[in-house]
Amino acid sequence: MQNISFTKYKTSQEIIKAANSRPDAPKLFVETYGCQMNVADSELIMSVMIDAGFAVCDRPEDADVLFINTCAVRDNAEQRIRNRLQALAHLKKKKSGMLFGLLGCMAERIKEQLLEQEQIVDIIAGPDSYRTLPALVAKAKEGESAVNVLLSREETYADISPVRKDTNGVSAFVSITRGCDNMCAFCVVPFTRGRERSRSPQTILDEIRQILAEGYKEVTLLGQNVDKYNWNNEEVKFAQLLKMVAELDPQLRVRFATSYPQDFTDEVLQIMANHPNICKYIHLPVQAGSTRMLETMRRGYTREWYLNRIEAIRKFVPDCAISTDIIAGHPTETEQDHFETLSLMQSVGYDYAYMFKYSERPGTYAARNLPDEVSEEDKSRRLDEIIALQSKLSHESNKKDVGKTFEILIEGESKKSKHKLFGRNSQNKVVVFERKDTKIGEYAHVKITGCTSATLMGELIEPN
């Protein structure tokens, strides 16, 4: 097998081309579910496998090895993946020797039992075991059981250059921390992704220099709780890292996710305020509106603390958009708690929200100690009320933008018309406009002329 020298090639596309030109290289297909961290992990997986001699393909039916990078955060995510596996099962019948791997959080949660539950699966690999994937594939080929679900306190894959295959070439994800130490009552992530650890600033900056050289215009720094970023006993904390990244290139847009209310500092806000290229957008999950519920969820902050953080955002970065995550029907939630969630949403006036029905996850504090006893009916009704309120708030937020002009980074063609492009403004809102002679990857100035609750519509104006 011909080895690929990664340093010889400038871009992911060149690496993929070189990998795919090797005669007889077995083909890999990777399908990704869940959060942005999984998207970034799939790019590491791609890199590890290409390094081990694999080619990559665009369709599952062409693959010799098919990996599904999974999510376990709610039961319906796992159900979707099980259904997908069933839908792919016929491929194995057609192609003898084809191998299926389940990777990521669901693999970590269910471990080797998955081999029994889903008989078509050959390989099980948790989020800290991706370096061993080629060895696991080799084992599976020999008919041996191929499972690695060891979690690590150190692994950050800092030295692996991700191969960005399914990308728009404009916007890239870079992980800065892995794992989570928060142990929110409802959440399975600390069990599937292990302990919190930070990656060295040097390797983060090097990776961003590399994507800049490849022509990317935007980076999103990723971690379950980016505010806990901590290198070498607080020598570099998140605020300093953010500053270093922003100062690499004023043309590079910088985003980050996810922020945690307890740990989110004014220092970060000051750095945002002082660097125009740090996008004015914060994702600050609240989960619930009453202090009683937040305590039950073991979130470590009160309603008042959270609202104080919102005030700080408004003070330091007045034009900042704010989004959140909300769970409806967490164990012990009463109508009064639910009402406080709605009232908090109203007083913050979120620009956007990700809203979920509580789903019990085996092994979590809530599953062990708090019976899942809010009725299905109440959960659904509360979620519907939350969604209806957010749709109203998003629409109100968008209406305020009509008449304003924003700098947009153009990301792609509108789904509805090839004469239109879409991009995002600093506040992370999607803006659709007539393309004229603009191109994907460029910045453009767009005046907003209309909106729905989900999208802003506008027209190009000449920059002055």
- Residues of this chain that bind ligand F3S (CB under 6 A): 180, 182-184, 187, 189-190, 224-225, 260
Which residue, 136 or 366, is less far from ligand SAH as judged by CB?
366
Told to check if 258 binds ligand SAH by CB under 6 A, we report yes
- x-or-dash pattern for ligand SAH, window 344-373, by CB under 6 A? ------------x-xx-x------------
**Stretch binding ligand SAH (CB under 6 A), from 54-62, 183-191, 405-413, 422-430:** 183-191
Which residue, 38 or 394, is less far from ligand SAH as judged by CB?
38
CA atoms within 13 A on the CB side of 391: 7
Q: Which residues fall within 8 angstroms of residue 352, CB to CB, at 6 or more apart?
A: 321, 323, 324, 390, 394, 428
Told to check if 322 binds ligand SAH by CB under 6 A, we report no
Told to check if 325 binds ligand SAH by CB under 6 A, we report yes
Which residue, 172 or 187, is less far from ligand F3S as judged by CB?
187
Q: What is the dihedral of CA 208, 211, 216, 219, to 10 degrees?
A: -30
Position 65, amino acid? V
Which residue, 33 or 260, is less far from ligand F3S as judged by CB?
260
CA angle 48–49–53, rounded 5-degree value: 120
Site for ligand SAH in 267-296 (CB under 6 A): 285, 287
Contact 50, 16 (CB under 8 A): yes
- List phi, psi (to 5°) of 360: -70, 130
Q: Which residues fall within 8 angstroms of residue 318, CB to CB, at 6 or more apart?
A: none
**Closest CB 421 distance from ligand SAH, rounded Å:** 29
| Cβ-count burial 204-219 (b if 16+ within 10 Å, e if not) | bbebbebbbebebbbb
β partners of residue 172: 219
Site for ligand SAH in 53-92 (CB under 6 A): 73-74
**Closest CB 239 distance from ligand SAH, rounded Å:** 18
CB count within 10 Å of CB 233 equals 6
Cα–chain center distance at 185: 21
**Closest CB 27 distance from ligand SAH, rounded Å:** 32
Told to check if 224 binds ligand SAH by CB under 6 A, we report yes
Q: Give the one entry of ligand SAH, ligand F3S, none that residue 352 binds, where binding means its C-beta sits below a cut-off of 5 to 8 angstroms depending on kind.
A: none
Which residue, 168 or 262, is less far from ligand F3S as judged by CB?
262
CA 133 – CA 403 distance, rounded (Å): 52
Q: What is the DSSP string of 268-323?
A: HHHHHHH-TTB-SEEE---B-SSHHHHHHTT-S--HHHHHHHHHHHHHH-TT-EEE
CA angle 230–263–41, rounded 5-degree value: 55
CB count within 10 Å of CB 358 equals 20
CA 389 – CA 342 distance, rounded (Å): 8
Which residue, 224 or 390, is less far from ligand SAH as judged by CB?
224
Structure tokens at 48: 């590890």
Which residue, 74 or 217, is less far from ligand SAH as judged by CB?
74
Which residue, 54 or 157, is less far from ligand SAH as judged by CB?
157
**Closest CB 172 distance from ligand F3S, rounded Å:** 22
Helix (H) or strand (E) holding 434: strand 430-434
Residue among 302, 274, 290 at smallest CA distance from 344: 290
Structure tokens at 60: 């599952």
**Closest CB 369 distance from ligand SAH, rounded Å:** 14
- Number of residues in the chain: 464
The one among 28, 327, 389, 448 contacting ligand SAH by CB under 6 A: 327
The one among 186, 264, 301, 406 contacting ligand SAH by CB under 6 A: 186
**Closest CB 227 distance from ligand F3S, rounded Å:** 10
**Closest CB 423 distance from ligand SAH, rounded Å:** 24
Q: What are the strands of the beta sheet with 281-283, ordered from one edge?
A: 281-283, 321-328, 352-357
Q: Give the one entry of ligand F3S, ligand SAH, none that residue 341 binds, where binding means its C-beta sits below a cut-off of 5 to 8 angstroms depending on kind.
A: none
Q: Give the one entry of ligand SAH, ligand F3S, none that residue 361 binds, where binding means its C-beta sits below a cut-off of 5 to 8 angstroms depending on kind.
A: ligand SAH
Which residue, 13 or 359, is less far from ligand SAH as judged by CB?
359
Q: Give the one entry of ligand SAH, ligand F3S, none that residue 190 binds, where binding means its C-beta sits below a cut-off of 5 to 8 angstroms depending on kind.
A: ligand F3S
Position 377, amino acid? E
Which residue, 182 or 270, is less far from ligand F3S as judged by CB?
182
Contacting positions for ligand SAH (CB under 6 A):
73-74, 186-187, 189, 224-225, 258, 285, 287, 325, 327, 356, 358-359, 361
